[in-house]
Structures are given as C-alpha cells and as structure tokens.
Amino acid sequence: VTDRLLPRRVFRRTCPELLNDGCTPAGTPVTLQLLGGVPEIVAINAQRAVEMGAKGIDINFGCPSKFVNRKAGGAILLKEPQRVQQIVAAVREVVPDNIPFSAKVRLGYDDTSLTLENAHAVEAGGADSIVVHGRTKKEGYRPPADWQWIARIRASLTIPVVANGDINSLDDYLRCREISGCDDVMIGRGVVINPGLVQQIRRFQTGTGHTRLTWRSIVPLIETMLLDGITAGVAGRHIVSRLKQWLRYLKSHYHEAQQLFDNIRTLNDPHQVQRLLYE
C-alpha cells in the first residue's frame, strides 16, 4: 500500500524484474500494481515505477484484504467512485501514453449498487483498460464469479474490459469469453490450479492443439520450486509448507497431487521431498 513515496529499494525488492528492464528472465513485460487511497501519493509512486522500468501500471481497487482496506487501499475504495476517478486521473497525468495503464476492480464492496458507477469512474479517469473480478468484496472468492455482470460493464464502456475470476480450465475460458463478451482475461489462481492453462489457451487460439499438461510435466515445476527456495535461502519448512498449499490447488486437476501430498504430509525437508518426486 502506497501511503508515501516508497524508496527505490522497496520497488526492487517487491518487483525484482525492474533490475531486468522490467521483464522476467523469459522476456515477459511486467506490469507493476499499486494500492492506495491518496491520489497524489499513488501517482508519484506510479511515476517512480515507470522511471525504474515498469512496462505497465495497474491500480488495484479490488483487494479484499482487511489490512489493505484499513489502509484505505483496495476494495474499500469502491464505496467512493469519485475517489476512484481522482486516483485514476492523478496516475494518468504522470504515466506516459506508451505505458499501458489499467485499473482492477470488483463488482463492489458489499453489493453491486455502485458497480457501473465505479466502472465509469475508471474510464473517465483515463485508464486504458479495466480488469473486473466478478465478485464483490463481501463475496470474497466464493464461486461462482458473475460473468454476466462483467457483460453489463462491457456494454457500458468504450475501453477494453478484462474478465477475472473462476477461469481454471480451457472450457472456463471459452465460457467466460462467450458470456462476458470481454476483450481479454486475467488469470490468477487458475494457473496455480492448472499451470499449463495459459499455454493451453494460446495453443487453442493458434490451432496447434490444446491438451493440458500431464502430471509428468508438472513434476519438474515442483522440483524447480523446491530448488529455487533452497537457493534463495528460504527455511526448508516454509518451502515444503508452500508446496503443500500448492498441492491442495493442484489436486482438483491432478489426482497425483493428492498422492504426493499424502506422501510428504509429515515432511519438512525439501531435499527429502525432492527425492520422492520421481518415485
């Protein structure tokens, strides 16, 4: 949350890709996301991010975290559409036109009474696009995401609308595009649940096949996660704890994830876990 101008070291720690010209090691441009409720403060942080190499700026008006909301950031701002517009406008003034600038929202805080007003506030403020998570803050992450509401937003705006929420498979992606009429999608937990989903969608779009990754392809990703944690000096028990969390997501698409979880349930050593991966 930006309650002041953050030091450059904070940007680098939070977004190490800034040390690589704003791109991942694979060359993918990274959009830096900011939260905050004071237009001028959010704007100067956005300006600094761009100066440091961020390839895009996004303002998060959707975060449901109580900590963030208490700091006047995230979804709490959806109660004040005028303030949303002021924040977007302040950031628009300092972000060059060649840098993609978006805002992410939910359908509202407690309900959908201000949904369209908030969407229009984002557009009026000058954002290039809007990302819509199809739930209110009160609904959290309970399924289903309301893609039909996203369609109503799409029909009322002229800027591109990006749909978010409950896109966990290729079928979900296709249904979301059809129902919402969105210009694109943002996928978060879906790629944790189904790591090959983006690749699967791309292959479908290009007609080059669209089968999902096999478990055999997932195992090396798990091993990379373990090794990266070890290399970074993360405590072993924390590495394994994160893996167990990931396996809980994976098991909805891969039954082998449950078996691996059962095998490592009592383990805290990533080296021991690594040895079990290929058994």
**pLDDT tens for each residue of 73-107:** 999 999 999 999 999 999 999 999 999 999 999 99
> Residue 61: what pLDDT?
98
Both tokens of 140, joined, read 């959290």
> Residue 160: what pLDDT?
99
> Residue 243: what pLDDT?
98
H or E element in which residue 33 lies: strand 31-34
231-246 pLDDT tens trace: 999 999 999 999 999 9
> pTM for the whole thing?
0.93
110-138 pLDDT tens trace: 999 999 999 999 999 999 999 999 999 99
Residues 99 and 128: beta-carbon distance below 8 Å? no
Average pLDDT over residues 266-273: 97
Question: By C-alpha distance, which of 14, 19, 52 is closest to 33?
Answer: 14
Q: Which residues are catalytic?
A: 63
> Residue 261: what pLDDT?
98
pLDDT category at 209 given cuts 50, 70, 90 is confident
- Whether the pLDDT of residue 211 is over 90: the answer is no
pLDDT category at 176 given cuts 50, 70, 90 is very high
Strand order in the sheet with 101-108: 31-34, 56-61, 101-108, 129-136, 161-164, 184-186
Can you list the domains of the chain with their CATH numbers?
8-206 (3.20.20.70), 215-276 (1.20.225)
